[in-house]
């Protein structure tokens, strides 16, 4: 949350802590993903849903922080605050990705050894604006709209949601917003259940199909979070951080459901998680109380590291993926020390800055 924007309002430290828990889980997903052969056997199978949880949290926080400030705040001021909050880590993540680009030696990215410096710098410049690069500038070969830092795609759609909120959605009544959220929920469920892989994974390629995935994954959770901030009436719940963290971990670490023969079952699971369980977790987190100084310190720590951890970990993951691709057949037992080193490295970097 932006402290300036919330100067006169109570804080939700448990939501900050949950954001950190989700960020750690999405890192573990990216560290186990290269060891799988596809959607069905990734160890942290639903870790990518942490992004959808982030979108819902963002919508809740934006509504809580800004909904009642528009009579005294311009659209320009709103965007200035959002850029100040989001953009520094966007730039840092892209720069780190660019620094590591030419030092990545891997058989899965032969293209990177032929990319001229000017082209990489152009991709870096565009990436620092968070605007997506076209496929003609896909210098890595993974069809990413941000080939220097893959996770930038979710920040692009975060900005899209912020723009929609600022220019129009904020003016909607609760009834109209509820209708928008209902339609978006149907679209999300349809995407999850009917997609060929039976999941919502995607959104990072600049083409019609993947932009549709990104928009669908963003609109429901972001504006459901906004609606929840308006109509939710938090109560007092004991040990909310513990129970919410366990529930979030259970949801995101859940193995694949349905297998290859019934992929639609996994789509149903993901739709239920995003449409029902994530709002419930956010509501419980907003209702929770901090009981000890240790719990409060932990939530603050996790909240502080969450966004930087998410935005800077993937340039290191590229090295990790390259190492795995150059050592075919490595197992989790062989790779976990390197994965742990990357996770601790990002933690230590964040604590120093």
319 within 8 A of 106, measured Cβ to Cβ: no
pLDDT for position 2: 42
Judge whether 337 lies within some domain.
yes
pLDDT digits (tens, 9 = 90+) for 20-64: 999 999 999 998 888 887 788 888 999 999 999 999 999 999 999
Asked whether residue 350 carries a pLDDT value surpassing 70, the answer given is no
Higher pLDDT, 300 or 334: 300
pLDDT for position 338: 67
pLDDT for position 250: 97
Closest among 219, 197, 199, 215 to 207, alpha carbons compared:
215
Judge whether 207 lies within some domain.
yes
Higher pLDDT, 227 or 336: 227
Judge whether 5 lies within some domain.
no
Judge whether 128 lies within some domain.
yes
Judge whether 117 lies within some domain.
yes
Asked whether residue 100 carries a pLDDT value surpassing 90, the answer given is no
| Count of structural domains within the chain | 1
Q: How confident is the model at residue 351 (pLDDT cuts 50, 70, 90)?
A: low
What mean pLDDT comes out for the span 85-113? 86
Judge whether 253 lies within some domain.
yes
Percent of the chain with pLDDT over 70: 92
Phi then psi for residue 288, to 5 deg, are -80, 165
Range(s) of the domain holding residue 36? 13-352
CB atoms within 10 A of CB 232: 17
Q: How confident is the model at residue 131 (pLDDT cuts 50, 70, 90)?
A: very high
pLDDT digits (tens, 9 = 90+) for 5-22: 444 577 899 999 999 999
Judge whether 8 lies within some domain.
no
pTM of the model: 0.92
C-alpha 151/C-alpha 315 separation (Å) is 10
At 123, list the tokens.
């991709």
pLDDT digits (tens, 9 = 90+) for 168-193: 999 999 999 999 999 999 999 999 99
Asked whether residue 349 carries a pLDDT value surpassing 70, the answer given is no
**Helical H runs in the chain?**
13-32, 50-66, 75-101, 117-128, 152-167, 174-194, 208-231, 240-253, 263-272, 278-287, 293-325, 332-352
| Rounded (10°) angle between helices 208-231 and 174-194 | 140
The per-residue pLDDT of the chain, averaged, comes to 90
pLDDT digits (tens, 9 = 90+) for 154-170: 999 999 999 999 999 99
Higher pLDDT, 299 or 100: 299
Judge whether 335 lies within some domain.
yes
């Amino acid at each position: 949350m932006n402290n300036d924007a919330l100067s006169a309002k109570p804080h939700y430290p448990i939501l900050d802590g949950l954001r950190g828990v989700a960020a750690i889980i999405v890192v573990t997903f990216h560290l186990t993903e290269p060891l799988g052969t596809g959607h069905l056997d990734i160890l942290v199978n639903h870790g990518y849903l942490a992004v959808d949880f982030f979108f819902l949290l963002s919508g809740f926080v934006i509504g809580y922080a800004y909904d009642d400030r528009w009579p005294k705040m311009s659209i320009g001021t709103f965007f200035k605050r959002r850029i100040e909050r989001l953009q520094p880590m966007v730039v840092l993540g892209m720069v780190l990705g660019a620094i590591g680009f030419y030092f990545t030696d891997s058989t899965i990215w032969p293209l990177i050894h032929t990319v001229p410096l000017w082209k990489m710098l152009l991709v870096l410049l565009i990436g620092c604006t968070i605007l997506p690069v076209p496929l003609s500038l896909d210098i890595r070969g993974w069809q990413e709209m941000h080939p220097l830092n893959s996770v930038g795609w979710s920040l692009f759609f975060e900005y899209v949601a912020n723009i929609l909120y600022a220019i129009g959605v904020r003016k909607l009544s609760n009834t109209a917003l509820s209708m928008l959220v209902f339609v978006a929920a149907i679209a999300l469920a349809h995407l999850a259940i009917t997609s060929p892989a039976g999941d919502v994974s995607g959104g990072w390629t600049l083409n019609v199909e993947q932009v549709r995935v990104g928009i669908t994954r963003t609109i429901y959770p972001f504006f459901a979070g906004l609606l929840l901030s308006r109509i939710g009436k938090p109560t007092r719940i004991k040990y909310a951080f513990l129970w919410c963290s366990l529930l979030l971990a259970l949801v995101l670490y859940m193995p694949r459901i349905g297998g290859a023969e019934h992929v639609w079952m996994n789509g149903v699971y993901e739709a239920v998680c995003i449409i029902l369980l994530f709002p419930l977790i956010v509501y419980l987190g907003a209702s929770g109380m901090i009981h000890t100084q240790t719990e409060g310190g932990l939530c603050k720590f996790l909240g502080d590291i969450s966004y930087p951890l998410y935005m800077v970990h993937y340039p290191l993951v590229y090295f990790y993926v390259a190492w795995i691709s150059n050592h075919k057949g490595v197992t989790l037992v062989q790779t976990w020390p390197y994965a742990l080193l990357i996770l601790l490295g990002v933690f230590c970097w964040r604590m120093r800055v």
